[in-house]
Structure 1
Amino acid sequence: MSVFRIELRRTVAPWVPVAMLVVSLGLLLFSRGPWSHGSAAWNETWLTAVRWPRYLLVLMWPIIVGAAAIQGMRDARAGVVELFGSTPRPAGQRAAMLGLALGLAAAVGYLVLVAAGVGQVVAKGGLFTTAWVTQLVLGVLSVLAGVALGLGVGRLLPYPITAPALAVLVLAGGLFTQVSGVNGVASNAVALLGIGQVAPHGPFDLPKPAVEIGQLAWLLGIAAAGIVLLLARSARIRVLALLPVGAGLAVALPLFPASSAENYVPDEAAAALVCDGPVCVTRLHEDWLSTVVGPGKEVLQRLEKLPQHPTRVVESTEPYRDNKVGPRDPSRVLLQKDNYVLSDKSGPRLTMTLLSGAGTTQCHAASYGGERNDREDAARWVMAQWLAGSYSPPSSYVAPQAWTDSAWAALKAVPEPEQTARVAAARQLELTCTGDPLKVLMEGAR
């Protein structure tokens, strides 16, 4: 223990967790970066509190590897390699104390980051499942592998340029693998070999067990290679460090899916439905049920005016995206918790929002703009007003009032059965994301 305390005191180990936390917590708390994902944010569930620190390893790993490399070259830079080699104490024991000090410090920094997220999740009553355990193991193993690799490379190449060059190389490689996982620049296997986890698709997905096993084998290979480099005394033995790396790749690559779309499986625990009659939300958002149950039942009641009307209001487990595609299930009105359109809405405001498009989700992204999208917005507004039984003009940022006024006048000018037929036809276009629903409301289906 005295040797261990000396290593802690005389190395950069105490500063490693400080640097890790400054970088990661600074980004998580004060920046709206790629981790601002609504229900998939780092402080929403136990799982996301563990997954986002893994994502941020792309920034923490260069700190870990670079600091370990500085310590790995310590003996050579001090000129005591031959002296220590002549002592009876095994080299492994000396290396173990150094590795333990750095590894423990880095692991503590990582676990403090995870605990910061978990603490917020517990405080707000976020969802608890056991899926986070494997992700935590992989995150801690990534940290320890970085320590082992840095120490080994520092012992192998004891030059002043080694630590900064290694940190830059690790950062560049990590960023490349993450970017390639998003836009498909490289193969899916390259993205999964990166030390920082690819950003989750949403709050209702889990990495496939095969992906986690492959990453476990790869990280163990990196850690073993670093240990071999740290303990090796000859060039011949150092070459053996390639063996665990090759073994890790041999296990991981066949397990990794060919496509990034196959990296995840549904999180059945989070996506399980909690219902109050015909209105259902996911277990992840169970506390939202009391907000949507009243408006949801009213929406279903009003939609009974239409033929083939929906019979359930169900929260969708698809991640909210800007691009919408059809066709949709006509028997359900879909909710998306992370859809900004529903943000902070309740009561009559939520009812009118759900009635928009006669209980359908929009086909375009509001940020795209353009005449086609404006026409869809106008049609969706008029359909909601017709179902509500009265008309009020929209705000300018919701839909163009000139089009809504014209469509409402044209719709109310025809008999009630024709009005119903037009709204039903426009709803069908919204379900399939085809045609011009505004034209149907004004002129009828032809």
Structure 2
Amino acid sequence: MSVLRTEARRTIAPWLLFVLLAVGLGFFFLFSGPWSRDAVAWNLQWTPSVLWSRYLLSLLWPIIVCGAALQGMRDRRSGMEELLATTPLPVGRRTAKVGLVIGLSAVVAYLLIVAVGLGQVIANDGRFTFTWVLPLLVGIASVVAGAAVGLAFGRLLPHPLTAPTAGVVALVVGVVLQIAGERGSSVQQTVPNRIALLSPTISQPRSALVEPVLAVSIGQLCWLLGLAATGFLVLAARRWFAVLPAVVGLAVALPLFPASAADNFTDSTGAGKPVCDGPVCVTTLHAEWLSTVAGPGKDALTLLAKLPAAPTHIVETTDSEYVSHGPGDPSELVVRRDSYLLRGATGRDLEYEILASAPSCSGAVTGSAARYVIASWLLGDLITPPDADHYGPSLTTSMRDAWTKLRALPASEQLARVAAARQAQQTCSGDPYALLTGASR
């Protein structure tokens, strides 16, 4: 331990620990994001908390690689490499101490960030499963691999530009592979899923109901451990056989990875199983919400029944990207409790938001106005949505204009226009607002 303390004082390990903690905790506490709001939050559920910490490696991994590369250049840049080569202490033992100290500081920083997140999960009584353990081990392996790769680069290429270049390359590669794992991204269409899964980080968690499949986690663990072993062998020996662990890890990982990104995650805990009260169903994860949503949900279905092709049941999704997916099953009315529109809503307010629920096919204000005018028409009175201020006066103006034109028509014509507008919403075809106002004719 005394040797490690001495080595820590001679290296950048304390500074690396400080920078990683500052960047990591600053990312979570100083910036607004989904980790602070819904079920996928960093501080609410065990597995999403660990996955968010792995997602954070998109920022931390380049810092680790850059810092380790700077440390790896120490012997050559200090002009002591030839002198140290004459000492009886083998180079492997001497570099092992440096690698241990740098790797340990990076791992400690990462575990402290994870611990802060999990501490909040425990305080919030998050649903406990053991599915977070393997992703945590993969995250640790990724941190160790970053330290090893950085040290190896620094030892092989002791140039002033090596450390910043290694950091930039690590950032670019990590971000590109991370984006390749994002659903619907343009990069995903060009980068095979098996290559994207070699990333030291992970794509943004989208649901509290799923976790990486076992084969993905094991494959990533093998690849990252092999990469770490190669880095440390290069640091200690600089022989050709140093690449063998990385090659073996890659050979084991690639066959384990699924070919399609749709197979990267699974629900092995049953948290996504439906819990129903008649036609209204929520996930097991949010079973306590059923008593709140059942009444307003049934009332909403009753009002919608007057329209053709009306939904017959309500289902909950915790997928934070549901709104971008376009049309779905017309018999289902999909809601998301974690949506800022439904979060905390009860009674008639909740019923109003359920009636206004529809796929978000465009970001136009008139599209939102059409949703709320349809919901208001079903309830019999024009109701200003709670988030109207978010859109400015344009939303209320658009709603009022559409409402006035709609209510001036005979009842049968009103019904026809509302039905056509809602059909356009659900199928993402046509302009619902134009259909309501008659501008499409």
Both structures adopt the same fold (TM-score exceeding 0.5): yes
**AA paired with 1:368?**
A
Equivalent runs, 1:98-137 vs 2, <5 Å: 98-137=98-137
Report the equivalent of 1:69: 69
Could you say what secondary structure the match of 2:271 adopts?
helix
Equivalent runs, 1:352-371 vs 2, <5 Å: 352-356=352-356, 361-362=358-359, 364-365=361-362, 367-369=363-365
* 1:126-173 Cα shifts (integer Å, max 9, x gaps): 332222111100111111112222222323333443323322322232
Is residue 206–residue 266 contact of structure 1 (8 Å, CA) maintained in 2?
A: yes
Report the equivalent of 1:18: 18
* 1:38-79 Cα shifts (integer Å, max 9, x gaps): 432322311121112211212212222222223333333444
| TM-score, normalised relative to structure 2 | 0.83
Q: CA deviation at 1:114?
A: 0.9
Q: CA deviation at 1:108?
A: 0.8
Equivalent runs, 1:50-199 vs 2, <5 Å: 50-182=50-182, 183-185=185-187, 186-188=190-192, 189-199=194-204
Of 175, 199, 224, the residue aligned with 1:219 is 224
* 1:287-332 Cα shifts (integer Å, max 9, x gaps): 43343233223334444556776553321244434434224241x4
Of 375, 392, 402, the residue aligned with 1:384 is 375
Is residue 278–residue 297 contact of structure 1 (8 Å, CA) maintained in 2?
A: yes
CA distance in 1, matches of 2:148, 2:140: 13
Could you say what secondary structure the match of 1:228 adopts?
helix
Of 167-176 and 314-323, deviating more is 314-323
CA distance in 2, matches of 1:194, 1:158: 26
Could you say what secondary structure the match of 1:152 adopts?
helix
Is residue 326–residue 433 contact of structure 1 (8 Å, CA) maintained in 2?
A: yes
Is residue 206–residue 319 contact of structure 2 (8 Å, CA) maintained in 1?
A: no
**AA paired with 1:218?**
W
CA distance in 2, matches of 1:172, 1:346: 45
Report the equivalent of 1:231: 236
Is residue 205–residue 267 contact of structure 1 (8 Å, CA) maintained in 2?
A: yes
User: Given the alignment of the two structures, is residue 397 of structure 1 paired with residue 395 of structure 2, yes or no?
Assistant: yes
User: Given the alignment of the two structures, is residue 342 of structure 1 paired with residue 342 of structure 2, yes or no?
Assistant: yes
Structure 1 pair 420–67 and aligned structure 2 pair: CA distance change class (3 A):
closer
**AA paired with 2:204?**
A
Q: CA deviation at 1:387?
A: 3.8
Is residue 34–residue 41 contact of structure 2 (8 Å, CA) maintained in 1?
A: no
Structure 1 pair 75–419 and aligned structure 2 pair: CA distance change class (3 A):
closer
CA distance in 2, matches of 1:231, 1:65: 17
* 1:159-213 Cα shifts (integer Å, max 9, x gaps): 4433233223222322333344443334134432222212234333332333223
Is residue 411–residue 442 contact of structure 1 (8 Å, CA) maintained in 2?
A: no
Report the equivalent of 1:204: 209
Could you say what secondary structure the match of 1:397 adopts?
helix
Report the equivalent of 1:295: 296
Structure 1 pair 171–37 and aligned structure 2 pair: CA distance change class (3 A):
farther
Percentage of pairs with the same residue: 46
CA distance in 2, matches of 1:273, 1:212: 27
Q: CA deviation at 1:439?
A: 7.9
CA distance in 2, matches of 1:346, 1:83: 75
Is residue 103–residue 147 contact of structure 1 (8 Å, CA) maintained in 2?
A: yes
* 1:251-304 Cα shifts (integer Å, max 9, x gaps): 333333444344333465331233445433223333433432332233344445
CA distance in 2, matches of 1:66, 1:295: 55
| TM-score, normalised relative to structure 1 | 0.82
User: Given the alignment of the two structures, is residue 406 of structure 1 paired with residue 405 of structure 2, yes or no?
Assistant: yes
Q: CA deviation at 1:85?
A: 4.2
Structure 1 pair 318–178 and aligned structure 2 pair: CA distance change class (3 A):
closer
Structure 1 pair 344–107 and aligned structure 2 pair: CA distance change class (3 A):
same
Could you say what secondary structure the match of 2:281 adopts?
strand
Structure of higher CA gyration radius: 1
CA distance in 1, matches of 2:14, 2:241: 32
CA distance in 1, matches of 2:382, 2:247: 68
CA distance in 1, matches of 2:423, 2:157: 67
**AA paired with 2:381?**
Y
Of 116-125 and 262-271, deviating more is 262-271
Residues matched between the structures, number: 425
* 1:62-119 Cα shifts (integer Å, max 9, x gaps): 2222222233333334444455444444443333332222222111100111112112
Structure 1 pair 62–421 and aligned structure 2 pair: CA distance change class (3 A):
closer
